[in-house]
Chains A and B, each alone.
Chain A
């Protein structure tokens, strides 16, 4: 059985800076996978390339055994994306955004309406459905973004920091939806800085550092008895603890 996601030597540089330097990311089918790493590790860049939003400089990406860049027709219908930065069509209402997304994917209108209504209810957005997205709070944006990513029932879902800036109640809603979704055999890959959450949700984790995957596997193998947080700090190496310098900060002017 092919893995849900598999990359070979994925490479991307921005000018002189290598953002992703040969990543071999593997995510088995049906897993709930976390992608963790310090700021600037290359998580966003990797996810952008995997979802066809950023052209890689080198390497291959397969989703369900098909090459993303060579065979986009087969791949794009089967993936859902929530990119970083919550960039949505700001001047549409939440409902209109879902309708637009659904029709973009070629789903018949009445089916889009049915699915949108259901998603809005589950995401607790019924009251806000006719407000413009520009007026949504961070949590509402994440929820409507996730709804838009789920609307066409993709096989693999890529989420870039879906839980950051989300209150516990909304986070609960999001995780419940995602749990149900993976239980049916679909795959979720998400990046996060919240180790507790990754530990709680994921059965598979990939740790990135400096543009490389430094550890990857079932979460218990990566943890090896430690908490994920400890394992993470060990893997990426603890950097300065912020005690030297800054003597002027907080001193009387």
Chain B
């Protein structure tokens, strides 16, 4: 049965890749990146063997914990790495929830990224195992740690997507905020403990905190290699079972509950904001996008996870208080701007199958340019105040409210660059968002690689292109920030211009790419 799920996933992958060069390139890109990550991860972890024994154990514990954290956070960023089966598709088959859970777990382990992290985790055995016992325990320890990552990731995404779907925007923000605060406290705690001193002290403190978590226990078990190690592994196995059980419960709950984001036929208010919008195509697109940001669950989840990830950045990247310069305020806010701007890397994804309405009306690149401008404007309406707030928060946290005056314009500029680049990726590597909100799955089957490539390239190019405005600011020339907004606007304009040229020449292909069956 489990094997069947794996085969199902593999054939979905294969079917999705067939006969489309773009998707194949995306997949190859994704595989290559995963392979590099696997080799690098394995190598780095193995090198820890050279460190003194106590340090090595703490280092591996920290690395294992970071893997688990990564597995939880990365799918939230909707990178399309998380291309798993939609449990709702399988609801009609006579499967017990347990079969469903093991099957889906196995299916989510099959794929380049899960395998890459399994390979990297194996480096932990090289780093810590001494003698036969260590190796013998090391293999199950790594597998259990991997299972822990998978189940924890599934649990968080399933629970969160259920919660995010459940009610209207206001409640969702509350949920996101609670999770944000909770998660954010962990690195904070570690940093505050180790604040006073050198890296080894921080590491020791981290090791102490992590000692009794499943990743820490797994690391210790490898190092121990004896009976204590066996006991520790049993504890890890039990925690995997508990997390899996919780996940099954969340899954069962999600399966029998209808998608309550549909408000059962209630009427919507005729929007009064329409009056403030420009008329014509631009205004129509802005109005539609703003409505979608409120009403479409996938758009909401995109926004909320952007806010969530930004919040994590804001708190966890906060340097030691006092020692910081403007960068402590500017850095996190700029990262937040990139994360928010990433939503524009697949602008047409949310429209999906309804994009034909635009396709039959648009006949010149100019139409498409206006459309993109409308989307960007709608995003700016939400993001600009949001980033201003974030700047203020970050500046206060960094110890000088005036830094907000530097951080906010810089972040706006970064946002401009991100959406400019994003409009180009939107037309060159478009992909379909799944119709139903399945956890945070990024793309239709077979398009995960493309989704990954789109986000990754957007981030990379944005990162390079913002250097001229961000670098001087980070180095202390705060006045440079006045150039950021014009720079961002210019970048967004140029991006739209190029994107409209490319996009209107291949609008039918674009339409097909965002309306694939999911």
Where the two chains meet, the residues of A that have a C-beta atom closer than 8 Å to any C-beta of B are: 15, 51-55, 72-73, 75-77, 79, 81, 83, 85, 87-93, 95-96, 99-101, 103-106, 108-109, 130-132, 134-135, 148
Contacts and interface: CB of A to CB of B under 8 A. Distances in A.
Sort A-B residue pairs by CB-CB distance and give the 6 closest, nearest first.
Answer: A103-B284, A87-B353, A72-B363, A130-B267, A91-B295, A73-B363
A83 B511 CA distance: 13
Nearest to A130: B267
Contacts, number: 97
A89 B352 CA distance: 9
B224 interface: no
18 contacts: A15-B18, A52-B359, A52-B508, A75-B363, A77-B363, A87-B353, A88-B357, A89-B288, A91-B296, A96-B268, A99-B284, A109-B279, A130-B267, A131-B265, A131-B266, A134-B262, A135-B262, A135-B263
A108 B515 CA distance: 30
A85 B353 contact: yes
Interface centre among B266, B279, B288 (most CB of A within 10 A): B288
B361 interface: yes
Contact of B288 (A83, A92, A130, A134): A92
Nearest to A97: B357
Interface string B241-270: 000000000000000000000111111111
Nearest to A108: B279
Given A91-B296, A134-B262, A148 B357 contact: yes
A131 B264 CA distance: 10
A53 B353 CA distance: 12
Contact of A92 (B279, B291, B509, B511): B291
Given A91-B292, A106-B281, A132-B295, A51 B267 contact: no
Given A89-B351, A130-B268, A106 B360 contact: no
A131 B284 contact: no
Contacts of B19: 15
A111 to B, nearest CB: 11
Given A93-B267, A131-B265, A79 B512 contact: no
Nearest to B364: A73
Given A93-B267, A130-B270, A87 B280 contact: no
Given A95-B270, A99-B284, A130-B267, A104 B262 contact: no
A53 B291 contact: no
B281 A103 contact: yes
A76 B362 contact: yes
A70 B361 CA distance: 15
Contacts of A108: 279
Contacts of A95: 270
B279 A103 contact: yes
Contact of A53 (B267, B359, B363, B364): B359
A15 B266 CA distance: 44
Nearest to A71: B363
Nearest to A104: B361
Given A15-B18, A91-B292, 10 more contacts: A81-B360, A87-B352, A87-B356, A87-B515, A89-B351, A101-B357, A104-B357, A106-B280, A132-B262, A132-B295
B287 to A, nearest CB: 8
A131 B268 contact: yes
Nearest to A89: B354
A96 B295 CA distance: 13
B354 A131 contact: no
A54 B281 contact: no
B357 A89 contact: yes
A73 B265 CA distance: 38
Nearest to B358: A104
Contacts of B268: 93, 96, 130-132
B283 interface: yes
A47 to B, nearest CB: 12
A171 B481 CA distance: 62
A55 B512 CA distance: 10
A106 B361 CA distance: 9
Report the interface size class on chain B: 35 or more
A108 B278 CA distance: 12
B34 to A, nearest CB: 28
A75 B361 CA distance: 10
A105 to B, nearest CB: 5
A105 B292 CA distance: 20
Given A55-B509, A76-B363, A83-B356, A100 B270 contact: no
Contacts of B267: 93, 130-131
A132 B268 CA distance: 7
A201 B282 CA distance: 39
A93 B295 CA distance: 11
Nearest to B18: A15
A92 B270 CA distance: 11
Contacts of A83: 356
Nearest to A83: B356
Contacts of B509: 55
Contact of A103 (B266, B271, B283, B296): B283
Given A52-B508, A95-B270, A90 B363 contact: no
A76 B361 contact: yes
Interface centre among B18, B271, B291 (most CB of A within 10 A): B291
A105 B361 contact: yes
Contacts of B284: 99-100, 103-104
Contacts of B296: 90-91
Nearest to B361: A104
B299 to A, nearest CB: 8
Interface centre among B264, B266, B356, B515 (most CB of A within 10 A): B356
A92 B290 CA distance: 11
A135 B511 CA distance: 24
A38 to B, nearest CB: 22
A99 to B, nearest CB: 7
A101 B362 CA distance: 11
A55 B363 CA distance: 14
A51 B357 CA distance: 11
Interface string B128-153: 00000000000000000000000000
Contacts of A89: 288, 351, 354, 357
B265 A90 contact: no
Nearest to B19: A15
Nearest to B357: A101
A163 B16 CA distance: 32
Given A104-B284, A135-B262, A81 B363 contact: no
Interface string B336-374: 000000000000000111101111111110000000000
B360 A96 contact: no
B227 to A, nearest CB: 54
Contacts of B360: 51-53, 76, 79, 81
A89 B292 CA distance: 9
A87 to B, nearest CB: 4
